[in-house]
Chain A
Amino acid sequence: MKSTVDKAPCFHCGDSCKSGEIWLDDHVFCCEGCKTVYQILQKNALCQYYALDDKAGLKMDKPLSPGKYAFLDNPELSAPLFQFKKESSARVQFFIPEMHCASCIWLLERLYKLLPGVMESRVNFDRKEVAIQFNPEEVTIRQLVEKLAALGYEPSLNASREEKKDSKALLYRLGVAGFCAGNIMLFSFPEYLGMDPQSKEAFGPVFQWLNVSLSLPVIFFAAQPFFVQAWKGLKYKNLNIDFPLALGISALFIRSVFEVVFHWGPGFFDSLSALVFFLLIGRWLQDRAYESLSFDRDFRSYFPLAVEVFSEETVSSECRYVAIGELKVNQCIRVRNQELIPADSLLLAGKACIDYSFVNGESEVEEITQGNMIHAGGRQVGGAIELRVARPVSESYLSALWNQQAKMAGEERVKTFSDWVGRYFTIALVLIAMATLFYWLPIDPYKAFHAFTAVLIVACPCVLVVAAPFAFGNAMRWLAKKGIYLKNPDIVEKVARIDEVVFDKTGTLTEGSAQIDVKFCELDDEEMARVGELFSQSSHPISRLMARYFKATKQRSSIVVKEFAGRGFEANWQGINWRIGSKKWLLGVSMDDGQSGVCIERNGSLVAEYAINWQFRSDLDQLFYGWELPRSLYSGDHASSRVVMEKWFDKESIHFECSPEMKLNALKSKREQGHFPMMVGDGLNDAGALKEAWVGVAITENVHAFTPACDVIMVGKSIHELPKFLRFCKNTLRTVKFSFIFSLVYNLVWMTFAVRGELQPIVAALLMPISSITVFSINTLGIRYFARKEQIQ
């Protein structure tokens, strides 16, 4: 038995070299792939790569299949990837999910040293993108992609990679609003501080007209998005959050202009422009928080760009690649190991073992016999298979499922607290203002206008409406630092109402990998390699795990393996009779503690035994310590880990062997009983349940390789922060409610003066900023306090 502790780390990727070390130039490598990358870098004098960051290299144990990028030779298919293309110069931009450190930037920006024909490459680290300018006469896009993949930086080529929203327009607005607000503030000071009558006469009008002209760009350029959104909302008979803003801004502006024109007073230009400026800052912060995440990628972005198509009649080795979108019914396609099935199709030839974990469930692999249907979204495990397309890509089960979900999301807009307050407050305010106007109109038209605008200004709903999104947006930023990403600020409020949490097991409470313990092993190195190859013949998840453990890379189809579903397999290879499988199947006794394990029999005698522990996350005790809400577990796996789970869950709340529908229905019935359940699961596997839950939390190891139907994305290693997350959201909502009440009382008091037409403009102008500042400070400081308390820093 060898322990892995004293093994040297691989010079390239930093992993310990578990099986066999490869030495070169006094450095040790864990696999051929890592060594190859080192050689490429060494040859090109780029070894500084290793000096910049300790864990620079990316593990290269999965060999690249040679034909994977052949489709890029087809100009039609590669065309969408180009930003521009001329004869001697072309530019492409790739998204590289693996980019992670300074070394990555360094190497990617020195591509020109590795690949002649590359002129320049620039990295955008936040977006994990690299823009490459190259000469297509010297180097093809296929060579470029293959070189990147060979270095470990495989770009993700997706036709539907969405365009990043252009945030520049917002920055321009922000700049203009800031400039105007600052200057208007300057010209308003003399009015506040008081001027002697002589200079007031001389400068007053100058300052006021300067303010009027400076406020024009604020209204017509900077504040434009609010008006546009409010108008859109009105068109669909929906009083959205921008409506009170637009109302408040216009009331302020119109009243101010009247004041200046009729020499009533200085107007409220400073409040107006500062308000717009702060609103825009809020939006900008929100956009920044989204930048590194993309929630709205659709499922097509997981599909390959193109698929290999061959003709059934002519048995030629020649094949061509066709873009997924152009795939037609009855075309024959070839899908290789680890590739996704792009459309519902019938199996023609080959051994299909389809892993549907992407579409519906857990790690079981489904074997499909010839002539049967394979649904889109399945992933082939094993050799290449040949399929005939039965339905167009757009009509597949997966597309239908997706569209249904998207539709539901559109209709079901839950009314949140701030929506509710925003709406009723706005309606009440408009009613009061109108009543004031009509009361005074017959008595004193001048006073009527005065009182009407004063009501709108003093009780400006703006701050009330902005306070909640501002506070939630703030909370969202705090949470993002902890690896918890919210879809939008409203989610904070939804989370605050959670009264029950439902967990999924695989990928949520367990890590992606399992730990394999050697109980005993009498195999020598050569035999271990053979056993590894045998494991790679089988499609069972445990076999795949073991194959990875034995580092089997080659797949020899010459070995005949007889599989016994769910138990093990037999093979007679090179004169040795192997039987590999569960202890129960081989020896008739089960493993201790209901663990799963693998035994190996050579010519009838037991030679090795391995115990497999699905690795539970190490922080589960921390997660459930002091947990208050009811919790339950719904897992699609077998009940083998029931004993372990009972440590954390009540017996009645553990449910094993649940299909995705069962999970979905469980959540549905909880919702129908009036609960607000939170589902914690992993991305697409539990898509239905995540959607059905009041709040769906997707646990993921890699934020970028991620998925759709959830409200919150949580990085796997921060799962123990879940209770903090719940508490923090509750406290955030409390803070917001407190500031609402404060502002409501404040507004009511001053409104009584405004309604009577007794509020002097100058007083109103002072009251408004005081109220805004107070509400914003309550929220900012309150949330900061709670964040500190929960140690979210």
Chain B
Amino acid sequence: MKIILLLIGCSLVLAIGFLIAFIWSVKSGQIDDTTTPAYRILDDDANIDLSTNRPVDDSTSH
């Protein structure tokens, strides 16, 4: 049964790891803004041909 103590130790270490990961993510600003990235992912840099509303090759447009 002493093995439980080892397991508890492991689980605590793991949990502390997650806690540190969380603190790091807050510190590095990952959850400062949770809205904008959702829009940003929709952008791509293709230029749009306005007559067809389809992306066109950048080199041909200008």
Chain B residue with the shortest CB-CB distance to A164: B32
Q: Which B residues lie within 8 Å of A175 (CB)? A: 19, 22-23, 26
The size of the chain B interface, using a CB distance under 8 A, is 35
Q: How far is the CA of A127 from the CA of B36 in the complex (A)?
A: 10
- Among A52, A127, A168, which residue has its beta carbon within 8 angstroms of that of B43? A52
Binary contact readout A87-126 vs B (1 if CB under 8 angstroms, 0 otherwise) = 0000000000000001001100100000000000001111
A206 touches B19 (CB 8 A): no
A123 touches B36 (CB 8 A): yes
CB distance from A290 to the nearest CB of B (A): 16
A47 touches B50 (CB 8 A): yes
A109 in contact with B40 given A45-B58, A126-B35, A183-B12 (CB within 8 Å): yes
Interface range, A side = 20 to 34
**Cβ of A179 < 8 Å from any Cβ of B?**
yes
Chain A residue with the shortest CB-CB distance to B46: A48
Q: Which A residues lie within 8 Å of B19 (CB)? A: 175-176, 179
Q: Which A residues lie within 8 Å of B15 (CB)? A: 179, 182-183
CB distance from B48 to the nearest CB of A (A): 4
Q: Which B residues lie within 8 Å of A27 (CB)? A: 50
Q: How far is the CA of A109 from the CA of B39 in the complex (A)?
A: 12
**Cβ of A317 < 8 Å from any Cβ of B?**
no
B48 touches A47 (CB 8 A): yes
A47 touches B47 (CB 8 A): yes
Chain A residue with the shortest CB-CB distance to B50: A47
**Cβ of A203 < 8 Å from any Cβ of B?**
yes
Q: Which of B46, B47, B61 has the largest count of A CB atoms less than 10 A from its CB?
A: B47
B46 touches A168 (CB 8 A): no
Q: Tell me the chain B residues, 1-60 only, with Cβ under 8 Å from chain A.
A: 1, 4-5, 8, 11-12, 15-16, 18-19, 22-23, 26-27, 31-36, 39-40, 42-43, 45-48, 50-51, 53, 55, 58
Chain A residue with the shortest CB-CB distance to B53: A51
**Cβ of A171 < 8 Å from any Cβ of B?**
yes
Q: How far is the CA of A171 from the CA of B29 in the complex (A)?
A: 12
CB distance from A285 to the nearest CB of B (A): 14
A171 touches B31 (CB 8 A): yes
B8 touches A210 (CB 8 A): yes
Chain B residue with the shortest CB-CB distance to A126: B35
Q: How far is the CA of A172 from the CA of B28 in the complex (A)?
A: 12
**Cβ of A549 < 8 Å from any Cβ of B?**
no
Q: Which B residues lie within 8 Å of A25 (CB)? A: 50
A106 touches B48 (CB 8 A): no
B4 touches A105 (CB 8 A): no
Q: How far is the CA of A106 from the CA of B38 in the complex (A)?
A: 12
Q: How far is the CA of A210 from the CA of B5 in the complex (A)?
A: 11
B50 touches A171 (CB 8 A): no
B62 touches A125 (CB 8 A): no
Q: How far is the CA of A61 from the CA of B42 in the complex (A)?
A: 30
B47 touches A172 (CB 8 A): no
Q: Which A residues lie within 8 Å of B42 (CB)? A: 52, 102
**Cβ of A6 < 8 Å from any Cβ of B?**
no
A26 touches B51 (CB 8 A): yes
A124 touches B32 (CB 8 A): yes
A168 in contact with B35 given A45-B62, A106-B43 (CB within 8 Å): no
Chain B residue with the shortest CB-CB distance to A25: B50
Q: Which B residues lie within 8 Å of A124 (CB)? A: 32-33, 36
Q: How far is the CA of A102 from the CA of B58 in the complex (A)?
A: 21
**Cβ of A199 < 8 Å from any Cβ of B?**
yes
A125 in contact with B4 given A45-B58, A48-B47, A172-B26 (CB within 8 Å): no
List 8 A-B residue pairs with CB atoms under 8 Å apart, sorted by A's residue number.
A45-B47, A47-B47, A106-B43, A109-B43, A126-B35, A179-B18, A179-B19, A206-B8
Chain A residues with a Cβ under 8 A of chain B: 25-27, 45-48, 50-52, 102, 105-106, 109, 123-127, 168, 171-172, 175-176, 179, 182-183, 186-187, 199, 202-203, 206, 210
Known: A48-B48, A172-B26; 8 extra A-B contacts, CB below 8 A, are A45-B61, A48-B46, A127-B33, A172-B23, A175-B19, A175-B23, A199-B1, A206-B5
- Which 10 A-B residue pairs are closest in the complex by CB-CB distance? A125-B36, A51-B48, A48-B48, A179-B19, A102-B39, A124-B33, A125-B35, A175-B22, A45-B47, A171-B26
